[in-house]
Amino acid sequence: MIRATITSAAGRPVILLGLEEGNVTRLREGKPIHIHADELGFAGEILIILGKDAEALRETLAPMIGPSTAIRDDRARKAS
């Protein structure tokens, strides 16, 4: 995996994660990829998961969801 920070044309910071086939295999095996964002100069953590659809993703995330969790589902925005 390649990890980098870049600046967009609009001047915004961007976290770039380049996945290799081994990373995709890991995701297909149900093994999330966990990255400490401070390695890239950002506060927080990044978790990458894979699922066949939104329902599968929700099932994977269920044990991690707490009262302060905010989930953004972009399907409605993309449909319009």
76 pLDDT exceeds 80? no
Is the confidence at residue 69, as pLDDT, over 90? no
Confidence of residue 9 (pLDDT cuts 50, 70, 90): very high
Backbone angles phi, psi at 12, to 5 degrees: -90, 145
Q: With 90 as the cut, is the pLDDT of residue 27 above it?
A: yes
Q: Which run of H or of E encompasses 57?
A: helix 54-61
pLDDT score of 57 more than 90: no
- Average pLDDT over every residue of 10-37: 93
Angle at 48 between CA 13 and CA 76, to 5 degrees: 80
pTM, entire model: 0.69
